[in-house]
Amino acid sequence: MKGRSRGFTLVELMVALVVVGIIAATASANYVAMRSRAREASTKANMHVFQMATEDYGVRYNSVYPTNASQAAALLTQGGSTFRNPFTGTTGSSQAWLDRPTWTTKLTTGSTKSGIVAYGDSVGTKYQIASRGATADLPIILSSGR
């Protein structure tokens, strides 16, 4: 009587590897897209944090808003040193936030760096906050209520 060996054939192993490969490719593509969306969401959260610092400044200085981004950043935790760009992990002026020295309605960041938050003011009476996503400025702009 001949003993029959049991196990998987080469074809069965190859089919299993192809299925695992397809699942891995799909999962990694979804992971990359989700990571990009999460970074853009963090950039929007950074915009809100910067807006809260700007409004805090306005409360402290009798409804006068900061005339540059550094004044608002000074009110962030540890003077803005913990305010991080979600795409690069960097902090500070021109890395996580920047000042737009000229007032334009519909503020643009003027930057090619992803995750940057831009602040523009109209001589302390109005402000706008814009930011850049992965490839372009985000369509949301935060502004003063005036």
More confident residue, 27 or 98: 98
- Check residue 3 and give its pLDDT: 62
CB atoms within 10 A of CB 45: 11
Name every residue whose Cβ is closer than 8 Å to that of residue 132 and which is 6 or more positions away in sequence: 43, 109, 111, 112, 113, 114, 115, 116, 118, 138
More confident residue, 145 or 64: 64
pLDDT band at 71 (very low <50, low <70, confident <90, very high): very high
